[in-house]
A and B are shown apart, each in its own frame.
Chain A
Amino acid sequence: MKGLSYSIYSFFVAFTFSAFLLACNNSDDVPPTGTGEVTLEFDNVAGTKNLVLGSGTYQNAAGESFTVDILNYFVSNIKLLRADGTHYTVPQDSSYFLIREAERESQFVKLKNIPAGEYVGVEFVVGVDSLRSVSDISKRTGVLDPADASHEGNSMYWSWNSGYIFLKMEGTSPQAQTDAAGNRKFRYHIGGFGGYSAPTFNNIRTVRLQFGSDKAQVSPGSSPEIHLLADILKIFNGPTQISLATNPTVMVSPYSTTIANNYLNMFSYDHMHVHND
């Protein structure tokens, strides 16, 4: 009796133990130092002024004044850069964000499960990479859902020319010619991933920013918030100066690359905060 009960018990203990081991073996994927969170704040400004939709009046390099009603852009394929030249790539499916000036929440890109360590810079795509631009509809969720309510009637998807609008800026300017409705509006809808079956213009742009002497320390107890600036005046002024009088509407046209080449340079690193828990 004793022998029997002992063997049953030892079987029971061994079974339980090994079952736990088997069931949870994926826990050793996590590096010993753990993970933390990183927040990228996209703060949209116009030169030295804060951007205020509707009421703020700004002047571009061509001396034209304008106001902005809509500013939206996609940020995707984020990488955090280390000093030794290596980087951490945010998993593809969690790496698409739509920054909307009209929605404060959207300007804080929260990256979870970032391996602990020290990061000296960030890289991201303004827009949506070509692979995702043509992927199966099951991959088009969240901000990539062509029907997503978060676009609020302000669609970032071209349904007639299937693809995303990478950056959309609309507003008014006394220098823009009156449109059919009698308004002096300007409309920049910049997209174009290079074409599906036939090559065409490609406005996918990758931005790389260094944090200077600052370092983003990530650990379970330390979650840096990195403050980036996006200066919309640079959309009009970069390699090419853009005039609202000459080009009030830019959408699906090769000229859109001129604007993409400018906005590539609108981002800069400003400062960072560290939240310690």
Chain B
Amino acid sequence: MISDTMNLLRLSLYGILLCVGLIQLSCRSEQESPEPEPITKPTPYTWTKPRQFPEPVYDFQANPLTAEGVELGKFLFYDGILSRNGLIGCGTCHQQSSAFTHHGHDLSHGVDDRLGKRNAQAVQNMAWSAVFFWDGGVHNLDFVPFNAIENEVEMDEKVGNVLDKLRKSPDYPKRFRSAFSSEEITTERMMKALSQFMLTMVSATSRYDYYTMGDASALNAQERQGLALFKQHCSSCHSGELFTDHSFRNNGLRPLPGNDLGRFDVTQVEADRYKFKVPSLRNVGLSSPYMHDGRYYTLEEVLDHYTDSVYSSATLDPILKNDTGKSGLTLSPTDKQAIIAFLKSLTDEQFIRDRRLADPGIGNAF
């Protein structure tokens, strides 16, 4: 009697289990097929906003950083596999020791030593940028690499080919699996991994930063005077803690024979002729040469530009126009020296020595 009841209970239990199974099967077609069980879950990466910086603009929710994702991004960033000839990585033109710019090159050279028309920008603090490149042609960090990879004077490769090469490599399928829980190598994953790494390139520990956070001794008297002059003459454009207002402006560079029209190429609006993105000046002491075409090699030349050679044209920024008829700013030689001393206090030694950002031993720098 007891055992009968037990049997019946057991039977019913099996029945229920069977039914639950059936229900699941019957509704399979209406559910998304479940992801295969992750091999290991990637480890969340804690990205901290420097206290003195504004809120970032990058959508971290759409691409949550993980230790494995950042690591994969680092390999992709330095690996020549992204280029047609296998030699040019992102890190070839964006070198850590010069704040991720192309040291000593006015115009960056890429595959087969072909020269580009522009000077490499610093890859730093990208989380706060809403527009990329000197002309602002790209508006999301995840879409930046297409330009470098497919540009025939840079890496001259097709992203589709890069994905094939990565799929066939002995190493990358493993790295994608640990970063994204499956081996699938897609455009989205590749771009998100590159972004993850680039987002960790945060420069916020220069002497200037220590000064603003309360250490008055971090800047000497000349640098402090330079800071005051900078605020007076430069920070209407190079504004805030990122030293850029992210706008496009014409700062009076005389057009060169290549006649780069800058922002106009993207918007086709007359008023945008010869306008370029206001660059951040963090680590500017390391990122020579200067301007979109790398025409100036020293900060002295840059300051002389602002006082003596501002070229007047229809789109010259009003801030640099003058009633006297002569365009540009008025600064004495001591003023200039003070500003330069201040600009050099924006050099972030910790940033350029951070081992986590360094080439893991796969890149080519030349």
Contact = CB atoms under 8 A, between A and B. Distances in A.
A122 to B, nearest CB: 29
A9 B12 contact: yes
Contacts of A27: 30
Interface string B243-273: 0000000000000000000000111110010
Interface string B276-307: 00000000000000000000000000000000
Contacts, number: 117
A137 B143 contact: yes
Interface in B1-29: 1, 4-5, 8-9, 12, 15-16, 19-20, 23-24, 26-27
Given A159-B146, A160-B133, A137 B268 contact: no
B131 interface: yes
A26 interface: yes
Given A1-B1, A23-B26, A16 B16 contact: yes
A136 B20 contact: no
Given A20-B26, A136-B59, A253-B268, A149 B146 contact: no
Contacts of A134: 139-140
A155 interface: yes
Contacts of A11: 12
B107 interface: no
Interface size on A, as a range, is: 35 or more
A198 B160 contact: no
A235 to B, nearest CB: 21
Contact of A153 (B19, B136, B149, B158): B158
B187 A145 contact: yes
B139 A12 contact: no
Interface residues of B, number: 47
Of residues B19, B30, B162, which shows the largest number of chain A Cβ atoms within 10 Å of its Cβ?
B19
Contacts of B192: 137
A147 interface: yes
A252 interface: yes
B147 interface: yes
B59 to A, nearest CB: 7
A201 B264 CA distance: 12
A147 B268 contact: no
Given A1-B4, A148-B160, A161 B16 contact: no
Contacts of A201: 268
A19 interface: yes
A153 to B, nearest CB: 7
B116 to A, nearest CB: 11
B130 interface: yes
Nearest to A138: B188
Given A5-B8, A19-B19, A140 B137 contact: no
A196 interface: yes
A42 B111 CA distance: 40
B143 A146 contact: yes
B67 interface: no
Interface string A194-231: 01111111000000000000000000000000000000
Interface string B100-141: 000000000000000000000000000000110100111110
Interface string A1-17: 10011001101100110
A117 interface: no
A153 B187 CA distance: 16
B347 to A, nearest CB: 31
A162 B140 contact: yes
Given A155-B150, A160-B133, A162-B137, A26 B5 contact: no
B357 interface: no
Interface string A153-175: 10101111110000000000000
B315 interface: no
Contacts of B268: 200-201, 252-254
Contacts of A20: 23, 26
B265 A252 contact: yes
A228 B24 CA distance: 43
B228 interface: no
A24 interface: yes
Contact of A159 (B24, B147, B188): B147
Interface in B180-194: 187-188, 191-192
Given A23-B27, A134-B139, A147-B160, A159 B151 contact: yes
Given A162-B138, A162-B139, A198-B267, A26 B30 contact: yes
Given A9-B12, A12-B15, A24-B23, 19 more contacts: A4-B5, A8-B8, A20-B23, A23-B24, A23-B26, A24-B27, A24-B30, A137-B188, A151-B160, A159-B146, A159-B147, A159-B149, A160-B151, A161-B265, A162-B146, A195-B267, A196-B139, A198-B267, A198-B269
Interface of A: 1, 4-5, 8-9, 11-12, 15-16, 19-20, 23-24, 26-27, 134, 136-138, 140-141, 145-149, 151, 153, 155, 157-162, 195-201, 252-254
